[in-house]
Amino acid sequence: MAGTVFPYEIRMAYQGEWEEAMALAWKTFLEFEADDYSPEGIRSFEDFITDSTLRRMFIMGAYQMFVALDGARMAGMITVRGNSHISLLFVDKEYHRKGIGRALMQDLCRYLRTELNIRRVTVNAAPFGIGFYHKIGFTDLEPEQMSSGIRYTPMEMVLK
């Protein structure tokens, strides 16, 4: 696709976009992840994305979020906590396989590297996302684990 212009805007999220981003995360989780989780895991995920403390951290700038926009429509979102751990990465079903997840990761990693001097990023990859994370350079740290009904594989990537 040489010469193709990437048609989506990637930028840091505005405070007013929190609800839309969490709604996108929930909708996409239900479509692609929920079948891999127990009822406890589904409740744990919902509790996480509706936690008022997390939203306050976002408002205070302690929990960064980048969004991908197709005009005014949110096509994807990614968050990072502790300046180096990918917490949420979701792309709307309609926008899968269009480079949005990769672009969100690239912009977030560029920000972490240049603005915060972070050299290593981690993620607890959900079963559906493992192939994506391997494809963009993450390696497994440990075998799949489970906590509060959430299945995940701890992974990391060294930023260059």
Q: Please write the tens of the pLDDT for every residue from 19-56.
A: 999 999 999 999 999 998 899 999 999 999 999 999 99
Interval 140-149: pLDDT, tens: 999 999 999 9
Q: What is the pLDDT of residue 83?
A: 87
Contact between residue 85 and residue 121 where contact means Cβ atoms under 8 Å apart:
yes
Q: Max CA-CA distance within the chain?
A: 46
Residue with token string 């979701």: 90
pLDDT over 90 (residue 14): yes
Contact 13, 21 (CB under 8 A): yes
Q: CB 157: neighbour CB atoms within 10 A?
A: 17
Spell out the domains of the chain, with CATH numbers in brackets: 9-158 (3.40.630.30)
* More confident of the two residues 19 and 3: 19
pLDDT tens figures, 91-138: 999 999 999 999 999 999 999 999 999 999 999 999 999 999 999 999
pLDDT in the model for residue 1: 46
Q: What is the pLDDT of residue 6?
A: 82
pLDDT grade for 2, boundaries at 50, 70 and 90: low
Say which residue the tokens 């005014």 belong to.
72
Mean pLDDT of 6-19: 94
For residue 61, the model assigns a pLDDT of 87
Residues 83/118, Cβ–Cβ less than 8 Å: yes
